[in-house]
């Protein structure tokens, strides 16, 4: 990761310095989600709002029509790596949405 200082900008009449972060990871990995990740993320978010606990991988798999839990697992890892969720390793129903 490389930190760069940008030119000062004015906010409410005061000059502020911005520090931008440039990472060696591709832009796609730093920003938005893939279609599948967005679908799973929205399902998890709605499930937690409705039930007050996170869904199991099997519940996600059944609701979204996937054939294997490993596909869900890979999507969850991607969401965790991108910072959209947190999960505890070896913990059931341990997905937490980052706000």
All structural domains of the chain with their residue ranges: 30-97
Confidence of residue 10 (pLDDT cuts 50, 70, 90): low
| CA-based nearest residue to 88, from 42, 54, 52 | 54
Chain segment 30-75, per-residue pLDDT in tens: 458 999 999 999 999 999 999 999 999 999 999 999 999 999 999 9
CB contact set of 61 (below 8 Å; sequence gap of 6+): 67, 68, 69, 71, 72
Distance of CA 67 to the CA centre of its chain: 23
Q: 26: which DSSP letter?
A: -
Is pTM, for the whole model, over 0.85?
no
Closest CA to 1 of 31, 19, 25: 25
Give tens-digit pLDDT for 71-97. 999 999 999 999 999 998 888 888 999
CATH code for the part of the protein at 30-97 = 1.10.10.10
pLDDT of residue 12: 59
């Amino acid at each position: 990761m490389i930190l760069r200082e940008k030119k000062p900008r004015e906010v409410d009449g005061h000059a502020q310095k911005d520090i931008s972060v440039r990472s060696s990871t591709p832009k796609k990995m730093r920003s938005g989600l893939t279609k599948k990740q967005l679908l799973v993320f929205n399902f998890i978010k709605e499930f937690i709002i409705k039930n007050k606990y996170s869904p199991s991988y099997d519940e996600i798999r059944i609701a979204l029509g996937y054939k294997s839990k490993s596909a869900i697992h890979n999507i969850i890892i991607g969401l965790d790596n991108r910072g959209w969720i947190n999960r505890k390793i070896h913990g059931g129903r341990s997905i937490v949405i980052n706000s």
